[in-house]
């Protein structure tokens, strides 16, 4: 028999338990020494690797004599450790602190609980894992390890994981990189906004008349709110100051009857951001139609179900919004549903609200997919609206979309011509915008303005409740159409003026008396607010020099005292919903409308001024550059009033968010 065969038949001697324990302890001591000398990882104040909790648990078990020298280490510890490691990697999450689920956090942000100062030596001992062996510390057993395995923390909101560091301090750990083929594609921002420069300061001597169309849209405010809540400053082009101001309900004086569709109230106050100017605040309140007196409604839901709507804040939110509206409508109202993706299709013929279950079932069937044939959808919607047309009633299409029209005629001008033609037949079109990433705000504004409709943006179910339930009357039932405002300033009292907002609603002076020129509509109970910043004659804030060759002579037929007490003259033109000839309302503005300080102005005036200041600041208007976010927050907080729905309190918080994001 050879030596090789003789040796193979022998059993190796079993190493002594003490020798094995010494070898393992020496190896772990060398490993710990290497850990101590390594540099701290980026984003962490604790020396050593961020996965040190696993090493501490493993070191504790392997250094125990019972496990170090028996087969039980192989049968229990190794499979358990392998299972634990697999769970950590597969679920992309480590243990939570003290058996609790670790809190969600942003990358590189540590969430620390209040703690007493810890000596440097004690902190070092804990970081090295020695605290697990300190007197009084609970021994690490297989049972405690099983309990720890059940305390895995979820992923952080940013895709990292939350781990345990010394003294219960939690910190972000980078998540393992997933294969490229299962990562979602990067979001592409294709949002489109109209670009309009802020209204300039105009000299009364050369341009004394200001003319514009009313605007009761609110989309801009909702979009800005969503941006700020997401932790980013809004695109300045998304800011339309008048839509922000008109987002809020105000208790302006109301007209006495339907014979007077709305009432105008003017208040003149000092300007909070410019001591040399004043604000001329024009508030209009529409007549509110009693629910039982409201005309019948023939509504067509035109719903975008293209592939771009396959996101939680788009089609699912849209369906819930329309469910709310269906519950708001009366039994004799009718609803139709048209969808469009690769092509348009009728989901529901005109159906009475009495058959609510059928309408809700049709909404429930909607699924996203395909391209976006928006123009074809609009054509199909008008056909259904004509089919269910209600004489002397409300005939309106509600277009719900992210604004992505990419099949068929889709330019702003082409769609504008379509809705302009159809509105003459008494069918109006409003827009409900949804989602981020490819929202086409510019197109939505064009469609709504030329369709005699309202443009809103739905970012939450609460906003859907506000728009489609609480304010359904103003959104659906018009009390006046083609409403235009014109202000003529008295050059003897006012040197300059600037209209705050309404840049996209400007009209020519001659358009005011031209009934062929389209303008905005006012719905039941609608509030419309317009604010001018005016510079009194002789104020040091006047920006324009006097004209060298201007005449100061008055016409011989005009008495020297004519209109001397007036600051301006307000004129409003409007048509009744079923009329073609406009009517006129006039209001002279005098010092009787003035208050000596902004603090003495009505609460609603002060709050709307704060909103106007905030909008200008977000848009980067230099006129309010010296007016801080805290000043705006203080002004709005002091004018919140009862605030039953919390809209004004939310606004104050948005101002504070903007302050932080802007770094003021």
Residues 198, 183: Cα–Cα separation, whole Å: 42
Going by C-alpha positions, the residue among 461, 582, 436 that lies closest to residue 518 is 582
Picking from 122, 148, 153, the residue whose alpha carbon sits closest to that of residue 60 is 148
Q: What whole-number distance in Å separates Cα of residue 414 and Cα of residue 56?
A: 69
Query: Where residue 244 falls among pLDDT bands split at 50, 70, 90?
Result: very high
- In contact, 80 and 58? CB cutoff 8 Å: no
Residue 376 Ramachandran class (φ > 0 left, ψ -120 to 50 alpha, else beta): alpha
Q: Do domains 202-289+479-539+564-662 and 295-470 have the same CATH topology?
A: no
Q: What is the mean pLDDT of residues 415-443?
A: 88
268-277: pLDDT as tens digits:
999 999 999 9
Confidence of residue 104 (pLDDT cuts 50, 70, 90): very low
* pTM > 0.75: yes or no: no
CATH topology of domain 295-470: Rossmann fold (3.40.50)
User: How large is the average pLDDT for residues 216-225?
Assistant: 96
Integer Cα distance of 523 and 288 in angstroms: 8
- Residue 256, pLDDT score: 81
202-289+479-539+564-662 under CATH 2.60.40.1230, yes or no: yes
Q: Where are the alpha helices (DSSP H) in 492-598?
A: none
> 43-52, 263-272, 493-502: lowest mean pLDDT where?
43-52
Among 155-169, 178-192, 425-439, 555-569, which is the least confidently predicted range?
155-169
φ/ψ of 455, rounded to 5, equals -105, 120
Please give the pLDDT value at position 578.
84
Per-residue pLDDT for 133 more than 70? no
Bridge partners for 213 per DSSP? 484
Distance CA 476, CA 46 (A): 61
Residues forming beta bridges with residue 533, ordered by sequence position: 279, 498
Determine how many CB atoms are found less than 10 A away from the CB of residue 591.
10
Cβ–Cβ under 8 Å, residues 506 and 519: no
Contact 17, 65 (CB under 8 A): yes
Which DSSP category does 662 fall into? H
pLDDT in the model for residue 277:
98
Supply the pLDDT for residue 57. Answer: 44
Q: H or E segment at 659?
A: helix 647-662
Does the pLDDT value for residue 159 go beyond 90? no
Burial class (CB in 10 A: 0-12, 13-18, 19+), 487: buried
Closest residue by Cα to residue 504 from 140, 144, 215: 215
Please tell me the predicted confidence (pLDDT) of residue 597. Answer: 97
Asked if residue 388 has pLDDT above 50, the reply is: yes
The better pLDDT of the pair 513, 408 is held by 513
β-bridge pairing 334-340 and 297-304: parallel
Average pLDDT, the chain: 77
Look at residue 191 in the predicted model and tell me its pLDDT.
84
**pLDDT digit string, tens, across residues 486-545:** 999 999 999 999 999 999 999 999 999 999 999 999 998 899 999 999 999 999 999 999
Considering only CA atoms, which of 219, 99, 103, 93 is closest in space to residue 161? 93
Q: What is the mean pLDDT of residues 62-78?
A: 44
Confidence (pLDDT) at 60 = 47
Q: b vs e for 500-538, b when ≥16 Cβ sit within 10 Å of the residue's Cβ?
A: bbbbbbebeeebbeeeebbbbbbbbbbbbbbbbbbbeee
Pairwise pLDDT comparison (538 vs 63), residue with the higher score: 538
List, in order, residues 6 or more apart from 175 with CB less than 8 Å away.
92, 155, 159, 160, 161
Which one, of 222, 205, 154, 132, lies nearest residue 434 by Cα?
Answer: 222
Give the separation between CA 364 and CA 369, rounded to whole angstroms.
Answer: 15
**What is the gyration radius of the CA atoms in the chain, in angstroms?**
35
Is residue 590 over pLDDT 50? yes
Residue 76 has pLDDT above 50, yes or no: no
Q: How far apart are CA 26 and CA 495, in angstroms?
A: 89
**Per-residue confidence at 148, pLDDT binned at 50, 70, 90?**
very low
Lowest mean pLDDT among 48-62, 253-267, 286-300: 48-62
**What does the pLDDT average to over 401-410?**
64
**Domain spans, the chain:** 16-177, 202-289+479-539+564-662, 295-470
Contact 64, 144 (CB under 8 A): no
β-pair type (478-489, 209-213): antiparallel
Could you give the angle at the alpha carbon of 572 between the alpha carbons of 566 and 576, nearest 5°?
155
pLDDT band, residue 258 (cuts 50/70/90) = confident
pLDDT above 70: residue 390: yes
How large is the average pLDDT for residues 205-213?
97
Helices (H), ranges, 431-489:
441-450, 461-465, 472-476
Give residue 444's pLDDT: 87
563 confidence band (pLDDT: 50, 70, 90): confident
Comparing C-alpha atoms, which of 371, 368, 378, 308 is closest to residue 338? 378
């Amino acid at each position: 028999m050879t030596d090789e065969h003789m040796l193979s038949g022998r059993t190796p001697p079993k190493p002594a338990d003490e020798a094995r324990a010494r070898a393992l302890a020496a190896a772990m001591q060398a490993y710990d020494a290497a850990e101590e000398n390594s540099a701290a990882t980026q984003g962490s104040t604790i020396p050593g690797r961020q996965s040190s909790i696993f090493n501490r648990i493993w070191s504790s078990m392997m250094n125990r004599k019972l496990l170090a020298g028996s087969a039980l280490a192989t049968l229990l510890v190794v499979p358990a450790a392998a299972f634990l490691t697999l769970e950590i990697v597969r679920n992309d999450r480590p243990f939570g602190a003290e058996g609790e689920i670790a809190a969600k956090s942003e990358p590189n942000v540590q969430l620390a609980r209040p703690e007493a100062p810890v000596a440097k030596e004690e902190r070092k001992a804990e970081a090295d894992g020695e605290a697990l062996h300190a007197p009084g510390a609970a021994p690490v057993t297989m049972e405690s390890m099983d309990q720890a395995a059940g305390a895995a923390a979820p992923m952080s909101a940013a895709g990292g994981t939350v781990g345990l560091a010394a003294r219960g301090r939690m910190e972000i750990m980078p998540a393992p990189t997933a294969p490229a083929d299962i990562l979602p594609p990067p979001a592409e921002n294709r949002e489109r906004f109209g670009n309009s420069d802020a209204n300039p300061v105009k000299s009364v001597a050369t341009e004394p008349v200001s003319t514009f169309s009313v605007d009761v849209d609110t989309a801009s405010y909702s979009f800005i709110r969503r941006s700020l809540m997401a932790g980013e400053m809004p695109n300045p082009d998304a800011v339309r100051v008048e839509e922000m101001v008109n987002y809020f309900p105000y208790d302006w004086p109301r007209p006495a009857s339907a014979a007077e569709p709305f009432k105008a109230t003017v208040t003149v106050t000092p300007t909070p951001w410019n001591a040399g100017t004043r604000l001329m605040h024009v508030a209009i309140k529409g007549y509110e139609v009693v629910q039982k007196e409201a005309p019948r409604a023939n509504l067509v839901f035109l719903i975008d179900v293209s592939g771009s709507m396959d996101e939680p804040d788009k089609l699912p939110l849209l369906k819930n919004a329309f469910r709310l509206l269906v519950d708001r409508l009366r039994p004799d109202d009718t609803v139709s549903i048209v969808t469009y993706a690769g092509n348009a299709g009728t989901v529901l013929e005109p159906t009475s609200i009495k058959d609510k279950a059928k309408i809700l079932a049709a909404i429930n069937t909607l699924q996203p997919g395909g391209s976006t044939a928006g123009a074809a959808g609009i054509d199909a919607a008008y056909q259904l609206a004509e089919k269910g047309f209600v004489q002397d009633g409300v005939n309106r299409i509600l277009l719900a979309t992210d604004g992505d029209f990419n099949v068929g005629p889709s330019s702003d001008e082409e769609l504008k011509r379509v809705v302009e033609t159809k509105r003459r037949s008494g069918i109006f079109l409003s827009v409900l915008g949804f989602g981020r990433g490819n929202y086409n705000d510019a197109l939505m504004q064009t469609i709504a303005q030329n369709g005699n409709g309202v443009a809103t943006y739905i970012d939450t179910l609460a906003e859907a409740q506000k728009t489609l339930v609480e304010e359904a009357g103003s959104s659906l039932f018009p009390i006046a159409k083609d409403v235009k405002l014109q202000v003529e300033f008295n050059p003897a009292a006012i040197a300059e003026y600037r209209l705050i907002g309404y840049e996209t609603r400007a009209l020519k002076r001659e358009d005011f008396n031209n009934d062929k020129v389209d303008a905005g509509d006012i719905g039941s109970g609608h509030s419309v607010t317009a604010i001018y910043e005016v510079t009194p004659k002789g104020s040091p804030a006047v920006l324009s020099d006097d004209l060298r060759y201007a005449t100061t002579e008055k016409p011989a037929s005009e008495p020297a005292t004519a209109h001397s007490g007036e600051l301006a003259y307000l004129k409003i033109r409007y048509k009744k919903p079923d009329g073609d000839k406009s009517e006129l309302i006039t209001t002279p503005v005098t010092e009787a409308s003035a208050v000596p300080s902004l603090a003495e102005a009505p609460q609603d005036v002060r709050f709307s001024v704060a909103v106007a200041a905030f909008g200008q600041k977000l848009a980067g208007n230099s006129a309010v550059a010296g007016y801080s976010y805290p000043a705006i927050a203080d002004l709005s907080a002091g004018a919140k009033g009862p605030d039953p729905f919390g809209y004004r309190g939310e606004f104050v918080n948005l101002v504070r968010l903007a302050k932080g994001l802007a770094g003021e």
